[in-house]
Structure 1
Amino acid sequence: MSKELRQHIEEIIPLTDKDFSYILSHFTEKKLKKHQYLIQIGDKVAHTYWVSNGLLKATYTDEKEKEHIIQFAMENWWITDYQAYFTQTKAILNVDCLEATELLCLSYENREKLCKELHKMEHFFRRKANNGFIALQKRMLSFMTNSSETRYDLLLKQYPTLFQRVSKSIIAAYLGVSRETLSRFNK
């Protein structure tokens, strides 16, 4: 797990062995089973999570009890309820495992400590956040400007393995279409 995390961080910043050993000391490991919740609505969110192995989804349930998929997280991705994590408040999202999952957990306090003590980690997290903002903006614009079939094609092109790992119902929910509509896109 640690080798993969180091490679992930070094995609953005160089690390010495000493740097990485210090960084890793701020993480804890967590393993969850398929269908197990990592975060549930109302939980205090103390950690952000880096996915070493597995697949998760973050969902929001509206006042009509409709579940909206906000994000997936697979290997080398980060996930949490960001609003709750950064404001140290209660979760408004559920995050659950679509597969058995192995995670490295970083508390808010340890993240802040790493950023203060190792400015290269502050740079790393800023770049990760910027990339997340860009991805979110692209997804929002895609919902506003593309047909559901175009959104399907873009998702398939960008994350082809996702389609082998989750049900068509989950893909349909992520795209905001019915399962029947999704069936028409399968070529």
Structure 2
Amino acid sequence: MEQQVSLSDAEFDYIFAHFKPLSFKKKEQLIQIGDIVENEYFVLSGCLSTYVVNDAQKMHILQFAMTTWWASDYQALYKNERATVNVNCVSDAEVLCLADKDREKICTELHHVERFFRWRSNGGYVSLQKRILSLLNDDAQSRYEELMYQYPALYNLVPKHLIAAYLGVSRETLSRFQRV
């Protein structure tokens, strides 16, 4: 946060007081489809995934959230709807939980902090746009190579079947990419 906005020690303490530290075990669910979503999660350690399972029981991963990343069902959070995605732990995870009402309170009281949240939202939008364009324009091999180039830690942190689900390929196809 302090990379984007200047905070006094008192402001930092005030903001941090609104975050709740939580620990989750591998495979534990933070959000399930149908839940009321009131929080977003900042990852201190571990890895989360945001995903859906379609009618054919095929998993589609929308996002991995590693250390310093945020995760939630933002459609549900911002539109006061029920969750349309699941968020779970790929590994044991330590997170900071921020309630939507607390984020709004902080932004109302400390207007310059809104800049950080706007910057973060814009960054998420840019990443989502890049991912969609990659899915539309790049072959699976290229998507895999780009993912491993951008996030090499994923290879050892995330099970291969989840990387395959993120790329939209089978585990067997992913194995062929790894041999190339």
TM-score, normalised to structure 2, is: 0.96
Deviations along 1:147-180, one digit per CA (max 9) or x if unpaired, are 1100000000000000111121111110001111
Aligned-partner Cα distance in 2 for 1:63–1:92: 14
User: CA offset at residue 64 of structure 1?
Assistant: 3.0
- Given candidates 142, 158, 170, the residue that maps to 1:178 is 170
Q: Does 1:169 align with 2:161?
A: yes
- Given candidates 151, 156, 161, the residue that maps to 2:148 is 156
Counterpart of 2:128?
Answer: 136
- Given candidates 124, 129, 132, the residue that maps to 2:116 is 124
User: CA offset at residue 90 of structure 1?
Assistant: 1.3
Counterpart of 1:146?
Answer: 138
Aligned-partner Cα distance in 2 for 1:26–1:120: 17
Aligned-partner Cα distance in 1 for 2:59–2:170: 13
Aligned-partner Cα distance in 2 for 1:169–1:49: 24
User: CA offset at residue 39 of structure 1?
Assistant: 0.6
SS in 2 for 1:102: strand
Q: CA RMSD in A?
A: 1.0
User: CA offset at residue 62 of structure 1?
Assistant: 2.3
SS in 2 for 1:10: coil
Which structure 2 residue ranges, 5 or more long, are not aligned? none
SS in 1 for 2:78: helix
State which drifts further: 126-135 or 9-18: 9-18
Deviations along 1:119-165, one digit per CA (max 9) or x if unpaired, are 12110000000000000000000011111100000000000000111
User: CA offset at residue 14 of structure 1?
Assistant: 1.5
SS in 2 for 1:75: coil
Q: Does 1:100 align with 2:92?
A: yes
Counterpart of 1:115?
Answer: 107
Q: Does 1:22 align with 2:24?
A: no
Identity over aligned pairs, percent: 47
Task: Give every structure 1 segment of 4 or more consecutive aligned residues whose post-TM-superposition deviation is greater than 6 Å.
Answer: none
TM-score, normalised to structure 1, is: 0.93
Matched residue count: 179
Aligned-partner Cα distance in 1 for 2:87–2:177: 28
- Given candidates 39, 52, 58, the residue that maps to 2:44 is 52
User: CA offset at residue 60 of structure 1?
Assistant: 1.5
- Given candidates 56, 67, 74, the residue that maps to 2:59 is 67
